[in-house]
Structure 1
Amino acid sequence: MARRSSTIARHGRLPRRGVWQTAGKFVACAVAVALVSVGGVAAWAVTDVVNTTSKGAVLAGETPGQAAPDINSIEGGVNLLLIGSDSRAGQGDGYGNPARETGNLNDVTMLLHVAEDHSNATVVSFPRDMFVPIPSCPRFNEDGEQVGSYPAMSRQKINTTLSYGGMACTVLAVEDLTGLDIPFAAEVQFNGVIALSNAIGGVEVCLAKSIKDSKTDLDLPAGNVSLKGKDALQFLRTRHGVSDGSDLGRISNQQLFLSALVRELKSAETLTDPVKLYSIAKVAATNMQFSQSLNNINTMVSIGMTLADIPTDKITFVQYPNYYVDGGVSPLTTDANTLFDAIKQDKNLSVTGGTGGSIPQDGESTAPPTTPPATDSPDSTTPPEDGTVELPDSIHGQNASLETCADGNGY
């Protein structure tokens, strides 16, 4: 089970700097955590990056000014929540309806879990329209001091937690949903995703069919495409251009991109270039907002170093199991328990339910669930000899070694 931090993360509301909508946010965090950390960074570069970072949000139970860990692989496991909002505030033109500037919904919520022994890692995507209980959430002022609390709610969409009680509420809701302690969190703006994708030189993805989406101004041909800048951001935002046009299909597209990103980060040409590592660290530091627990290059590097030696087939992206209901989706509780029991035991995961939308290069796509099952899928009764847990077929996703193609709309 992941090691619990000595101070439990409870996030206050972060200053409104303009925020991000989709898993492009995770791309930025993955870059900051994985790229920056592997291969070492010169001491002068670390100092420069630290001086560049903004003041982190104070978490309940944290003591401001505590020393950061040495730049080594962090001890024990890691749970890090990546949260994004649909707000357009401060991001300029080109991101849809400007009236959405007033919105503050966490339309993407992703949890990174690294095993205690650093043998595997899992990233869980939580559908934005999934109905969940919302716990009582602390209310923080701008100085990070708790000044009250928000009442609990029995059933709301998970993407309302950010607007309801800030990052603290999203963290608490995910902790209640998963049974995991989450000591770290981060978010990034739209323009930060563009800057980071440019810094890494782009990510090559496969498109089974062309993608044309007027809502994100995206027009990509079929075949292998290198994505960076605004194209990378809009590829991660599009849902009308891929799969079945749903948010669940978009999650699959995002997992395809992130798997390709991980493979690229693992390439020797990228991970052994200290100049590139430093430049990406500085881009991350100037374009992301971290919780105070993560607001130090040493901590970022220490977490990232846990990912350096994990094989791509041991890095698994999954979607929280769910089924459609009126107005959104609901959790498949039994199957979710199977997933998170395995995560708490630091088991490597095997996805049996298909990608949920993207197309494996040697097979057909598997569509997201559309109707509620009579019962949840049974637990696997014959685990592989190496201890890998075969997940119920209601859980879609892929590991980072699987090369898949986006199921474009072909227009």
Structure 2
Amino acid sequence: MSERTSAKSRRLPVARHGILRSPNPITQILTVLGAIVAVVVVSVGAVGAFYVWDAANALETTSVSIGEEEGQLPPTLGEIEGGANILVVGSDSCEGQDLALFPRCAADDAPGERNDVTMLVHISDSPRRVTVVSFPRDMIVPIPSCPREDGSGSYSAMSAQMLNASYMYGGLPCTVATIESLTGVDIQYAASIRWTGVINISDAIGGVDVCLAEDVHDGHTGLNLTAGQHSLVGAEALQFLRMRHGIGDGSDLGRISNQQQFMSSLVRTLQSDGVLSNPGTLLNLANTAVSQVKSGQLLLSNTLANPQRMVQIAMAVRSVPYSDIVFVQYPTTYAEGGSRVQPVTSAAKVLFDALAANEPLQLTGSTSGGYGTEVVGEATAPTPEPTAGATPTPGATETAAPTDAATPAPTQTAVELPSQITGQTAAQVTCTLAQH
């Protein structure tokens, strides 16, 4: 039995280092889900019906197979049945990028396209929980045999390559196969996003709040931010997500923890009345997401390229409590020489066994492993009439939370994750630390 077949047979429910630049694709998957909700919201009229047709046509004609077959969709909308695993990839492609924002693309100093950011989004069955696992791009892993994108055969399997080489060898399907082989999970859905796509959908969201504990200066991305709260959009949001030299220890671990701060804030934004209950904002998100597919900045698997399926996924996560939305880094240790990292599979097994059993998670390590962020407060349930436009300050409590709060699940004993697994929950408000 092949590694891929063996991984699928388990049907597990789920989804630092280096010099390549990276955007944050989790922004994309969450906003795409919200965008498709917008398509449905506006579909009650003729204009909405056009967007439904246009979205479905654009998504289905440009999607890619990851070896999964989409089952028959139910006739009515509702939460997706069971759990789901979604792989989200951010690539470093220079195709279609603004050379003024990315000078290295003009110099063509890194040809090819790699998965700079790789995240597995796991949505559990009842009770609903969401776990997002970030995989360091320079982690040394086996890459299975992957079909060439031009259909001319397959690449040979490789026993030890950096994870970000998987996309270069076989595109999104190869990265899916690599993560399935590493984790043993069955990935049903996948998406990849390029830099300009992140910028455009960030603009459509209208801003994500981030916190800086200290002034931050990063000459590599050109981002300079003062200590305190900032609402980031467009290119500035992408710079924040790519930044690593100006924060923590300057490694990709710091960047991952920085991205987790952004994602936590994004989740709270998307679950708030300011976004998902605003038809104008939702329509803008829907239009933007479809345009990114058409322009080649966003690629979806054939299983995800269906508006109805995306609505079902969005409905499954819209009311998950902040404490049950957990962002973690796949555990690693430095390889010989210190320039690459290797997986710590024993610690990872604890995580993925807990996900398979749909058990709550308890982080025991620091929020960022000491690399880039610190906890400054908690995001709690909103008051009946939350103050519009309020943002937290370092040390304060944030008060944005999901509407339609889910009925609390029966009490379960949380699985204590090994300290090598660092991260945070969406309930934790964190601030980025400057590099010293």
Query: Which bin holds the TM-score, normalised by the shorter protein?
Result: 0.7 to 0.9
Residue 87 (structure 1) aligns with: 93
Residue aligning to 1:133: 142
1:248-327 matches, within 5 Å, as 248-287=253-292, 288-325=298-335, 326=337, 327=339
Taking structure 1 as reference, are residues 279 and 52 closer, same or farther at Cα in structure 2, changes over 3 Å only? farther
Say whether the 8 Å CA contact 2:360–2:414 is kept in structure 1: yes
Deviation at 1:96, TM superposition (A): 3.9
Verify the 8 A CA contact 2:23 2:91 in the aligned structure 1.
no
Q: What do residues 218-268 of structure 1 show as CA deviations (whole Å, max 9, x unaligned)?
A: 111110000001100000001101111001110000000000111111112
- More displaced stretch, 95-104 vs 77-86: 95-104
Deviation at 1:55, TM superposition (A): 1.8
Tell me what 2:53 maps to. 47
Whether the aligned pair in 1 keeps the contact of 2:66 and 2:172 (CA below 8 Å) is: no
The 1:60/1:246 distance shift into structure 2, 3 A limit, reads closer
Identity score, percent:
44
2:31 corresponding residue in structure 1? 31
Give yes or no for contact 1:34–1:304 (8 Å, CA) kept in 2. yes
CA distance in 1, matches of 2:421, 2:257: 11
User: Amino acid of the residue matched to residue 110 of structure 1?
Assistant: M
Gaps of at least 5 residues in structure 1 are 9-19, 364-383
What is the alpha-carbon distance in structure 1 between the residues aligned to residue 412 and residue 34 of structure 2?
A: 26
Q: Deviations over 1:198-230 (max 9, x none)?
A: 111100111001111111111111100000011
Q: Give the drift of 1:286.
A: 1.6
CA shift, 1:408, in A, is 2.3
Identify if the C-alpha distance between structure 1 residues 102 and 139 changes in structure 2 by more than 3 Å, giving closer, same or farther.
Answer: same
**Cα distance 1:151–1:189, how it changes in 2: closer, same or farther (>3 A)?**
same
What does residue 340 of structure 1 align with?
Answer: 352
| Deviation of 1:88 (Å) | 1.7
Matched, 1:78 2:84: yes
Q: How does 1:155-166 map to 2 (within 5 A)?
A: 155-166=160-171
Q: CA deviation at 1:328?
A: 0.4
Aligned to 1:399: 425
Q: State the distance in 2 between where 1:185 and 1:131 align.
A: 22
Root mean square deviation of aligned Cα? 2.6
Deviations 1:44-95 (A, max 9, x none): 242343344462334155679x865553211111100011222222202112
Q: Deviations over 1:12-60 (max 9, x none)?
A: xxxxxxxx95342220211112454389523224234334446233415
In structure 2, the CA distance between the partners of 1:241 and 1:96, relative to structure 1 (3 Å rule), is: farther
What secondary structure sits across from 1:80 in the alignment? strand
What is the match of residue 221 of structure 2? 216
Match for 1:120: what amino acid?
R
Report the AA paired with residue 261 of structure 1: L
In structure 2, the partner of 1:361 is: 376
**1:167 is aligned to 2:172:** yes
Q: Check conservation: 1:53, 1:286, Cα contact below 8 A.
A: no
Assess if the C-alpha contact under 8 Å between 2:362 and 2:417 holds in 1. Answer: yes
Give me the whole-angstrom Cα distance separating, in 2, the residues matched to 1:111 and 1:101. Answer: 26
TM-score, structure 1 as length reference: 0.83
Alignment of 1:48-127 (within 5 A): 48-53=54-59, 55-59=61-65, 61=67, 70-93=76-99, 94-98=101-105, 99-100=108-109, 102-117=111-126, 119-127=128-136
1:328 aligns with 2:340: yes
Question: 1: distance between equivalents of 2:203 and 2:364?
Answer: 34
TM-score, scaled relative to structure 2: 0.79
Give the counterpart letter for 2:375 in structure 1. Answer: P
State whether residues 377 and 429 of structure 2, in contact with CA within 8 Å, keep that contact through their aligned partners in structure 1.
no
SS at match of 1:165: helix
Match of 1:367 in 2: none
Aligned to 2:404: none
Change (3 A) 1:349 1:151: same
Q: How far apart, CA to CA, are the structure 1 residues paired with 2:144 and 2:59?
A: 32
Give the Cα separation in 2 of the matches to 1:61 and 1:393.
Answer: 35
- Per the alignment, residue 369 of structure 1 pairs with none
Gaps of 5+ in 2: 1-6, 12-19, 44-48, 293-297, 379-409
Could you say if the C-alpha distance between residues 235 and 255 of structure 1 is closer, same or farther in structure 2, counting changes exceeding 3 Å?
same
